Amino acid sequence: MPLVAGIDSSTQSTKVEVRDVESGRIVAGGRSAHPTVTPPCSEQDPQSWWHAFESAWDRAGRHEVTAISVGGQQHGMVALDGDDAPVHPAKLWNDTESDSDAGWLIAQLGSAQAWAAAVGSVPGAAFTITKLSWLHRTHPDAWRRIARVLLPHDYLTHRLTGAYTTDRGDASGTGYWSAIDEDYRLDLLSIIDAERDWASTVPTVLGPMDIAGEWGSSVVAPGSGDNMAAALGVGLRPGDVMISIGTSGTVSTVSPTPTSDPTGAVAGFADATGRFLPLVCTSNAAKVLDAVRDLLDVDHDTFDRLALDAGPGGPVLLPYFDGERTPYRPAATGSITGLRTDVTREQFARAAVDGVACGLLDGLDALGAALGGDSGIDGRIVLVGGGARSAALRSVIAGLADRDVILAEIDEAVATGAAVQAAAVSEQVDHGVIQQRWGLGDGAAVDGVDGGDVRERYADFRDSTAG
């Protein structure tokens, strides 16, 4: 029985899925936690990801697999010296210390529009290029020791193969690889350091069906960013929109053509198959629900029940607890309006759910605007991620979205997508062949609840706090 493995290396943990190539059945799995991080300084030792993989692999039973692939958290900066040791802890996507560098870089090129035209996205603090600017500005000694710059998934692929590779999907989130031109923009890196040989510093970009190397007797696929792997894992269909609810929230769709949004709301990513993955990311999603649940001192089921018992019309919460990426407010904190002396626990829980749901649906609106009036994203909303386990959040999104909403049947979209890629590369067949064989793309319909006028009240509160 041939097996493949998919790895999900996220902000919080590394997860491994081992699947049967023919049926897609999960044979084994393992998980190991990463060090906890909290913005604005969000850093991890990349070597801890490898240790977490080894631990998760042990827990999965160390099966013999024909192929393996890594899906990793996007954007992070992994700067290595000539001996492949980190010159500084890896900056993660949700680290916001490079916010001023983002503004400086935009000014150097002339405008946000110029960046969107160059690489498909406007760099914010999440993007790798801003983190490189921060390291150059704040740690010159570490900067001088850099030999390689990788992304988190690249680092784990390197530990498996010894090669320095990435893929087009993850590369498109750096701010210096263009999904429009399908190539590096080394001139943009030269804005930071014109003396460095950037061509030898960045990894080779592999195609969707290329082989990164071997790990023992296993083929190592190119891997990709977590959002690209998740799109593979849920079997995202043309016209569908995926809303992934984890530490952050993302709203994305597959597109046959690249996008370029000068507002910066929509990142013009490539995907892992040769197409494109325009995406909106919010920094705050499931962790907002967890924070409010902890304040109320209740379990997940009780929290959902409280929120659904409240009904619409209570307080409005802006869920920008740890700064926000969309809208771009890196220094923001959460805020609430409409509190009265008779406020209830139920209303407080509902305000948190409504706030997260409205933020995600704002992302859906931005995606439609960037793709144009005839965007074609009028299909299903596919919910995925740990936060999608919240019955209250699912029901509120379905009630506000005015379209079919389903909950993806898979539990770990990123690990599943990485396994899809591993199988496709191993057999050299289209990813869709594997998705169809494994029955990916289905889910349970979600019934909506009345949201009242919360989106209008949320928008008013959001706009009143801008600036």
Residue positions annotated with a catalytic role: 226
165-167 vs 249-252, strand pairing mode: unpaired
Q: How far apart are the first and last CA of the chain?
A: 58
Residues 6+ apart with CB under 8 A from 412: 8, 15, 17, 29, 233
Angle between helices 413-427 and 226-233 (to 10 degrees): 80
Angle between helices 152-161 and 46-60 (to 10 degrees): 60
Number of other CB atoms surrounding residue 455 within 10 Å? 16
- Rounded CA-CA distance 209/276 in Å is 16
- Rounded CA-CA distance 444/433 in Å is 22
Number of other CB atoms surrounding residue 178 within 10 Å? 23
- Rounded CA-CA distance 280/360 in Å is 9
- Token duo for residue 440: 């990916």
67-72 vs 224-225, strand pairing mode: parallel
Q: Is the dihedral of CA 289, 292, 295, 296 positive or negative?
A: negative
Nearest to 148 by CA among 196, 91, 187: 196
